Structure 1
Amino acid sequence: MIELDQLSKTYIQKDGTKIKAVDAVSLKVAEGEICVFLGPSGCGKTTTLKMINRLIKPTSGRVLLNGEDTSGIDEVTLRRHIGYVIQQTGLFPNMTIEENITIVPRLLGWDKKRCRERAIELMAMVALDPKRFLTRYPRELSGGQQQRIGVIRALAADAPVLLMDEPFGAVDPINRESIQNEFFQMQRQLNKTVIMVSHDIDEAIKLGDQVAIFRAGKLVQFDHPDTLLARPKDEFVGAFVGQDHTLKRLLLVRAGDAATTPATARPDVQLEQAIALMDDQDSRYLTITDNDNRALGYISRRDIRGLSGVGGDKVKPFTVNAAPDENLRVVLSKMYKHSTSWMPVIDADGSYIGEVTQDSIANYLSSGRSRGQKQLQAA
């Protein structure tokens, strides 16, 4: 875990004027999480990042790594154990890709075989063929490929913490999305604790477990991305996340979060009782489940009106359903594609979780609830 405790940086001008670049910033980033620093130019986000590995020395406050005050750790040792990625990649032009990747492991005394194995392992994670690229020089790679090398070089020594200063900002949009996806999968696999500076709200909500919004050196809001979009703290944060912040939430909220749990019935339900259940919940359909709560299909009011018998004889299979972890953007896309206003939520074992409707999605997004709030309550 990384903790910033009242971290501040003050610069003194030639005329003696004091400028507070960072003003008493406090936050905690749990192990294995990605935290994104956001804010306008000059807001203090990059200065805060650089104080974590003491590229900039704090004026006051503390940085704690797993509870240990890093001011007591030698600077060289600290930086060797915290990976660092910058926008321009910072690759050494006179070194091969393999030499660039393994520079810190070699400084730490790793043997040649171990260094090479680590380089090959990391190259595979970013979809670059080691046989083709390890012997090349940075100038022989595209900008996107160089950025991939910059990221895995910071991971080569297996440091638990990774600092990233606008790592994908100089990459074109198509390659940037690809690199973001590769990085996210790699981070989840390696369980690194990451703090990243970005200027892109879409990147922040896509990658971040937590997002910190800075303004004039102060930390304005620190929240889960969905909480940030659902409840901006003030007009500044609201303007920064954009007027389409509700639509952005569609990528963050899962079907399981927005699902409701209407009444269901077993296959032996009498059709008269099924009609009564639909009347009670003002619905045109009723989901049928077995004794193990596995979804079998549904019956509709229109199909059984005026009939007698049991529901199992009139069950229709679901033509489309949502998985609990699918985001609402995917869910709505499925709804529009299949011209339906509702969809059952069914897990990998076939168990019925609930249903999402266009109304339930709208109600969730307008309610002020958020995934971040749920996670906080669960903890």
Structure 2
Amino acid sequence: MIELEQLSKTYTQKDGTLVRAVDSVSLKVAEGEICVFLGPSGCGKTTTLKMINRLIAPTSGRVLLNGEDTTGIDEVSLRRHIGYVIQQIGLFPNMTIEENITIVPRLLGWDKKRCRERATELMAMVALDPAKFLKRYPRELSGGQQQRIGVIRALAADAPVLLMDEPFGAVDPINRESIQNEFFQMQRQLKKTVIMVSHDIDEAIKLGDQVAIFRAGKLVQFDHPDTLLARPKDDFVSAFVGQDHTLKRLLLVRAGDAATTPATARPGLPLQDAMNLMDDQDARYLTITDNDNRALGYISRRDIRSAGTQGVSGDKVRPFNLNAAPDENLRVVLSKMYKHSASWMPVIDAEGKYLGEVTQDSIADYLSSGKSRGQRMAA
């Protein structure tokens, strides 16, 4: 865990004026989470990042790593155990890719076999063939490939903490999305604690477990990205996240969050009773499940009316043409709905269990309700 306690940095200008670049910042980043620092240029986010590994010395306040004050740790030892990635990458041109990746492990005394195994493992995680690339030099790689090497080099010594200063900012949009996806999967697999500086709100909500918004050296809001979008603390945050912040939430909210749980029926329910149940719910359809709550399909009011109310619900069951998994984001869900001209979809888990349904109305209700995934996860 990383904890900042009233962290501040003050500079003295040539005319003697004091400038507070970072002003009493306090926050906690849980082990294995990604926290993204956001804010306009000069807001203090990069200075705060650099104070964590003491590239910049704090004027006051403390940085704690797993409860230990970093001022009591030797600077060289501290930096060797905190990975650091910058936008400019900084690969050594006269070293091979393998040598670049393993520079810190070699300084830590790792043997050649262990270094090679680590480099091979990390190269595979970013979709670069170790046999093809390890013996190459940086000039023989594209910009996107070099950026991948810069990221995994910071992970080579298996440091528990990774600091990243706009690591994907210089990469073109196509490669940036690919690298972001690879990094996110790698972080979830390795469970590193990451603090990342970014200027991109879309990147922040895509990657961050928590987002910290800075302004003029102060921490303005620190929240789960969905909470940040749902309830900006003030006009500055609202303007920073953008007028389309509600649409951005579609990537964060899952089908299971926006699902409702209308009544269901068993196959043996008489059709007249099924019609009455739909009348009670003012619904045009009714989901049919078995005794284990597995979704079998649905019956519609129209089908019952056209065939009469004799028989049981199982006689008129239609299979679902599409469904949503509980962890699918609402952007995917709405895309499916619009593609198939559907107004609703059942939410069904991997075992076929019926969890409810998501509709265009339920999505709109959730987004306007003030609820957020951050609130739900904290509870």
Match of 1:44 in 2: 44
In the alignment, residue 347 of structure 1 is paired with which amino acid?
A: D
Q: Aligned partners of 2:58, 2:91: CA distance in 1, in Å? A: 27
Instruction: State the Cα distance separating 1:138 from its structure 2 match.
Output: 1.1
1:71 aligns with 2:71: yes
Instruction: State the Cα distance separating 1:139 from its structure 2 match.
Output: 1.4
Partner of residue 332 from structure 2, selected from 330, 333, 336 = 330
**Equivalenced residues, count:** 377
Give the 3-state SS of the residue equivalent to 2:91 in structure 1.
coil
Instruction: State the Cα distance separating 1:339 from its structure 2 match.
Output: 1.1
Q: Aligned partners of 1:55, 1:103: CA distance in 2, in Å? A: 19
1:316 aligns with 2:339: no
With the length of structure 2 as denominator, give the TM-score of the two structures: 0.99
1:252 aligns with 2:237: no
In the alignment, residue 71 of structure 2 is paired with which amino acid?
A: S
Q: Aligned partners of 2:335, 2:346: CA distance in 1, in Å? A: 14
Instruction: State the Cα distance separating 1:45 from its structure 2 match.
Output: 0.2
Q: Aligned partners of 1:346, 1:129: CA distance in 2, in Å? A: 38
Q: Aligned partners of 2:141, 2:265: CA distance in 1, in Å? A: 61
Instruction: State the Cα distance separating 1:134 from its structure 2 match.
Output: 1.1
Q: Aligned partners of 1:279, 1:160: CA distance in 2, in Å? A: 57
In the alignment, residue 308 of structure 1 is paired with which amino acid?
A: Q
Instruction: State the Cα distance separating 1:280 from its structure 2 match.
Output: 1.4
Q: Aligned partners of 1:95, 1:57: CA distance in 2, in Å? A: 31
Give the 3-state SS of the residue equivalent to 1:265 in structure 2.
coil
Root-mean-square deviation over aligned CA pairs: 0.7
Match of 1:59 in 2: 59
Match of 2:265 in 1: 265
Match of 2:201 in 1: 201
Unaligned ranges ≥5, structure 2: none
Percentage of pairs with the same residue: 89
Partner of residue 372 from structure 2, selected from 361, 370, 373 = 370
Which whole-Å deviations, capped at 9, do the CAs of 1:262-296 have from their partners, x for residues lacking one? 00011111111111111111110000000000000
In the alignment, residue 253 of structure 2 is paired with which amino acid?
A: V
Match of 2:219 in 1: 219
Query: What is the correspondence of 1:134-283 to structure 2 with a 5 Å cutoff?
Result: 134-283=134-283
Moved more, 87-96 or 198-207: 87-96
Query: What is the correspondence of 1:122-133 to structure 2 with a 5 Å cutoff?
Result: 122-133=122-133
In the alignment, residue 143 of structure 1 is paired with which amino acid?
A: G
Match of 1:294 in 2: 294
Match of 1:23 in 2: 23
Which whole-Å deviations, capped at 9, do the CAs of 1:150-197 have from their partners, x for residues lacking one? 000000000000000000000000000000000001000100000000
Instruction: State the Cα distance separating 1:337 from its structure 2 match.
Output: 1.2
In the alignment, residue 292 of structure 1 is paired with which amino acid?
A: D
Q: Aligned partners of 2:28, 2:278: CA distance in 1, in Å? A: 48
Moved more, 349-358 or 277-286: 277-286
Give the 3-state SS of the residue equivalent to 2:177 in structure 1.
helix
Give the 3-state SS of the residue equivalent to 2:274 in structure 1.
helix
Instruction: State the Cα distance separating 1:204 from its structure 2 match.
Output: 0.4
Q: Aligned partners of 2:70, 2:276: CA distance in 1, in Å? A: 66
Q: Aligned partners of 2:19, 2:101: CA distance in 1, in Å? A: 38
1:361 aligns with 2:360: no
Give the 3-state SS of the residue equivalent to 1:264 in structure 2.
coil
With the length of structure 1 as denominator, give the TM-score of the two structures: 0.99
1:91 aligns with 2:67: no
Unaligned ranges ≥5, structure 1: none
